[in-house]
Amino acid sequence: MGDNEPQPDGGTATGTEGAQTVDYLDEEINLFKPATPFMRDNLKMIFGLFAVWLAFVFGPVTASYFAPEFMTETRVLNGYPLNFFLTAIVAPAAALVLSAVYAWYRDKLDTKYGISHETEEETGAAATATDGGEQ
């Protein structure tokens, strides 16, 4: 398979030889030993982003404990103490950025493993408008 071709995650029947089949209802779920390559890739990113989030959330608090004078006397943006700025502004902004990074990575994983979130519409039947009338 080329790099651009979707790869099965092992849990779907694709007809390709050598593909791992997993019955998800009978398998034990283990976060530290996932059953499919898709879940391994996804959990690597989740654990990595979680570690970065921990650093952003608990880093300023820990720095304030070990260097209180530096964190409280250093001023940024019109006189805010550095510990306040990092905790009140940077940490929530980092959470938003990490969310965007995860969404981008998850879309990339979905493409890699051929996962589609599109719903298939029935053809041949008349579609009903939201107001109850026929289209």
The pLDDT of residue 9 is 56
Q: Check whether 131 has a pLDDT greater than 70.
A: no
The pLDDT of residue 77 is 86
The pLDDT of residue 57 is 92
Going from the C-alpha of 66 to that of each of 51, 75, 82, the distances in angstroms are 20, 18, 14
Per the CB < 8 A criterion, the answer to whether 6 and 114 are in contact is yes
Q: Check whether 72 has a pLDDT greater than 50.
A: yes
Compute the CA torsion angle 93, 94, 99, 101 (nearest 10 deg).
Answer: 120
Evaluate the CA torsion angle 124, 126, 129, 131 in order and state its sign.
negative
The pLDDT of residue 22 is 57
Q: What percent of the chain has pLDDT over 70?
A: 67
